Amino acid sequence: MWIQDIESYSDRDMNRDRSMTVGMMPPKLAQIMVNLGTKGKFDTIVWDPFCGLGTTLIEALHAGHMILQGSDLEKEMVSATQKNIEKRPDYNKENVHVEVLDATKLDALTLSKKTTVITEGMLGRNFTPATLTQQAALQERKKLTQLYQGFLDSGYKNKHIECMVFCLPFWNAGRDTVFMPEVSQLSKDWAVDNLCISRKRYITHSRPGQSVGREIVIVRR
């Protein structure tokens, strides 16, 4: 029997600073991704290079991971992550480091040991059903394809990174669903974890009526 601590999830979800312009990753999804990436082992640095509001890092702390790295291109997001982590007095934050860094330049950061990248990534523009068309989705896909290519290529160049768990967006544009390119089209270096491959593509996460959903991808060396 599995028991979910609903009060704990609610506490971690509601007691954090929010943003109207940044998507809110559910703590439960972040927890799943941490578990998929680390497989319950604590011998790796956990790095979120799109740290946003700090949800993934908080879930890694909650799981007991001690050495965490966060980064984001936006100074405001770095500050938001730091603030949300500081609001959690029950966690050991001694080895948590957050800084400004471009997620397409992961090879620029010197790491001290093997590292697992776990991140929601960039889902792109906030669409509503009224503003999302197939053409708009295809334009967003084109823009994000370049970002994810740089993300994966620079991650592979950083030899300490052994595994990456991240989300690719997909768009429910009326009757049409627009997906990002397959990982093999984004990078020739990484091997996709077989756990991700289903009869469709990868593990998906979305709510009914949601314009933008997530495909959860795991890649390893």
- Structural domains in the chain, sorted by start: 6-14+24-220 (3.40.50.150)
pLDDT at 174 over 70: yes
Longest pairwise C-alpha distance within the chain: 49
DSSP 207: -
pLDDT at 198 over 60: no
Provide the mean pLDDT of the chain. 89
102, 103, 117, 121: which is closest to 180 by C-alpha?
Answer: 121
Interatomic CA distance for residues 181 and 200, integer angstroms:
13
33, 35, 41: which is closest to 66 by C-alpha?
Answer: 41
Q: Which residues pair with 205 in a beta bridge?
A: 214
Do residues 108 and 81 lie in contact, with contact meaning Cβ atoms separated by under 8 Å? no
Share of the chain above pLDDT 70, in %: 86
State which H helix or E strand residue 215 sits in: strand 212-220
Q: What pLDDT, in 10s, does the model give residues 73-100?
A: 999 999 999 999 998 877 888 899 999 9
Q: Which residues pair with 123 in a beta bridge?
A: none
Residue 169's SS3 state is strand
Phi, psi (deg, nearest 5) at residue 167: -110, 135
The confidence score (pLDDT) of residue 176 equals 87
Average pLDDT on 154-176 reads 95
Confidence of residue 182 (pLDDT cuts 50, 70, 90): very high
Supply the pTM of this predicted model: 0.90
Confidence of residue 129 (pLDDT cuts 50, 70, 90): confident
